Amino acid sequence: MSAKRVDPITSLKPGRYDYRIKVRVIRKWRGSTKEGEVFKAFNIVLLDNMTYLTDVVGIVKKYEFLDLTNKLGKDKKQAKFIITDGSSNVKVIFWDKYSENFDKAMNEQVEKPVIVILSACKAGLWNDEVELSNVSATKYYLNYNHHSVLQLRKRMNQPKFVDIAMATTETRKIEQLKINQITKLGKEYIKSQVMLLVQIKSVVDTQSWFMHTCTTCDHETELNNGIFICKNCPRTVPHPDTKYKIHVIASDDTSDLEVIMHDREVRTLIGRRARDVFDEQSNIHALPTCLKNLAKKNYTVMLRIREENVVDHFQVYWTTNICNGFTSEQQQTMENNNDRPQSSSQATYSTYQEQRASSGNM
């Protein structure tokens, strides 16, 4: 079968002429000169089966444009928003030049909220949630005169629809649980967040403490014949970023739990970037001291429960937020637990949203 192997577009490099690709032409156009002469060549956009494109329409909410351009002046801009049809919400992120153009177009819109049609955008999974982003074929239409847009606009006249569709904060409380409860959660907990008060017993040193990520989209890259590949973009990444990804064993008075912490959480705790720590290590496979020192201390941890945790009983969990110690509110409630069993031993989602936002990272 190897003779019939198909190469993904991401693996193509100049200088070789024996690739086999299986693609669909999704855009084709001819350029023309200033004098209006048609060029002989065609421009085509190819799509292989590594990528899935989709068309969606929705009301734009929580729109923000972020300029994350780094010190080296490398462009890293983002237009981030959520689109909703009133019953479901989907996250959208556009990148770099595309996001700048989109931002300009958004600012020109008079009619608010803006209703967007996205054509041929890419649907990916990121932390168990669908996330749409742009590829070269993606087009957007803002407040376009189309029946699907008009229909949504009409529904915006109903106050009840607006309340539900445009709600920006989840009012649902986040439950504080013990570790032995985490492994028994039912399907209703999938995608929801829970809070734990734990001690990190140890940082696992048999797993790598860092990952190489795509400089465009921050997804973890895969190493293939010495070349880093981002399957999300999809493209090769010649100089990937270094980010933290550590496994820790968390414990409370009921049990132990293996938890994965990503870059933002680790960076919040130790105040140093993975790249700087990486550069100092004489042996990159050994666990750096600053990470080892995370052990034997108390933390308040937020986890997001994923489908595989509940359905497949996958026993490793992912943090979405962490802070040192037990938050004062928590401690107080814990101390008063006996007299006030109904007290608010729960933080609201929005509190954590604010913390996330103020950390200045996605």
Omega before 234 within 30 of 0, i.e. cis:
yes
Residue whose C-alpha is closest to residue 329's, from 348, 357, 305: 348
Q: Which is nearer to Zn ion, 85 or 220 (CB)?
A: 220
Q: How far is the CB of 214 from Zn ion (least distance, A)?
A: 3
* Under 8 Å between Cβ of 160 and 118: no
End-to-end CA gap in the chain = 43
Q: Which is nearer to Zn ion, 126 or 141 (CB)?
A: 126
Q: How far is the CB of 43 from Zn ion (least distance, A)?
A: 23
Q: Footprint of Zn ion on this chain (CB under 5 A)?
A: 214, 216-217, 230, 232-233
3-state helix, strand, coil in the chain (%, to 5): 25, 40, 40
Q: How far is the CB of 221 from Zn ion (least distance, A)?
A: 8
Q: Which is nearer to Zn ion, 12 or 286 (CB)?
A: 12
Q: How far is the CB of 273 from Zn ion (least distance, A)?
A: 19
Residue 92's DSSP bridge partners are: 81, 132
Query: Helix (H, G, I), strand (E, B), or coil: what is residue 81?
Result: strand
Omega before 113 within 30 of 0, i.e. cis:
yes
Q: How far is the CB of 272 from Zn ion (least distance, A)?
A: 24
Q: Which is nearer to Zn ion, 142 or 227 (CB)?
A: 227
Q: Which is nearer to Zn ion, 174 or 233 (CB)?
A: 233
Residue nearest to Zn ion (CB): 214
Q: Which two tokens stand for residue 96?
A: 């770099």
